[in-house]
């Protein structure tokens, strides 16, 4: 009976610790996402895993974000991402990792004035490109407003040496995985989260 109580207590402690880890990761990811939505890129980039800056230096990443969100050729509206499925915390080489899926809704409208082409043909090209990238079930077009709506679900990896200062990497494309392997363990990259 004493062993049973000890096992139950150990399971409860582990479960409580995991729930706390998950809450902290989600809280930090929400802070990061909120900064991106507010276009406060300097602060948002403090939440990005520093290994990414070996691939794309921080100032270049900031410039890309600023150009994307201030591009006069398109309007972008995003919702706060929703965390879908989250792994248990894994400790590898003194770093804690958590992997989860992030679901976002992005609305985009492209300004076709001055493009010189047939606006409807260009809209169809854009739609086909979005469908190829995100899947037909995840792309819609509202002809009245001119907005494309794209639902995305992307894996995100959180890393922290102390379970407090979480840094994030979003896997936007499988083609990024070989580059990410330079600073994220393969075991974490290969981890499946439902």
pTM summary value: 0.83
Neighbours of 74 (CB within 10 A): 14
CATH assignment of the domain containing 134: 3.10.450.100
In a domain, 39, yes or no: yes
Q: Please tell me the predicted confidence (pLDDT) of residue 16.
A: 35
In a domain, 194, yes or no: no
In a domain, 28, yes or no: yes
pLDDT tens digit at each of 194 positions of the chain: 545 433 323 333 333 344 567 899 999 999 999 999 999 999 999 999 999 999 999 999 999 999 988 888 889 999 999 999 999 999 999 999 999 999 999 999 988 776 667 878 888 898 999 999 999 999 999 989 989 999 999 999 999 999 999 999 999 888 889 999 999 999 999 999 97
Q: How many domains does the chain have?
A: 1
Q: Please tell me the predicted confidence (pLDDT) of residue 36.
A: 95
Q: DSSP of 33-86, one letter per residue?
A: HHHHHTT-HHHHGGGB-GGGGGTS-HHHHHHHHHHHHT-TTEEEEEPPPEEEEE
Domain carrying residue 130:
2-189
């Amino acid at each position: 009976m004493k062993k049973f109580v000890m096992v139950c207590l150990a399971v409860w402690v582990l479960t409580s610790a995991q729930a706390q880890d998950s809450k902290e990761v989600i809280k930090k990811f929400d802070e990061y996402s909120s900064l991106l939505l507010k276009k406060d890129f300097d602060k948002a980039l403090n939440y990005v895993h520093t290994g990414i800056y070996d691939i794309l230096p921080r100032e270049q990443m900031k410039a890309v974000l600023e150009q994307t969100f201030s591009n006069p050729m398109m309007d972008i509206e995003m919702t706060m991402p929703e965390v879908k499925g989250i792994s248990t915390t894994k400790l590898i080489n003194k770093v804690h990792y958590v992997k989860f899926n992030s679901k976002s809704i992005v609305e985009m409208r492209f300004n076709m004035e001055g493009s010189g082409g047939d606006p409807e043909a260009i809209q169809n090209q854009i739609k086909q490109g979005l469908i190829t990238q995100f899947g037909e079930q995840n792309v819609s077009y509202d002809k009245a407003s001119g907005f494309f709506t794209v639902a995305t679900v992307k894996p995100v990896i959180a890393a922290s040496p102390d379970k407090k200062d979480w840094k994030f990497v979003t896997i936007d494309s499988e083609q990024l995985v070989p580059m990410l392997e330079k600073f994220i363990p393969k075991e974490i990259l290969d981890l499946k989260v439902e």
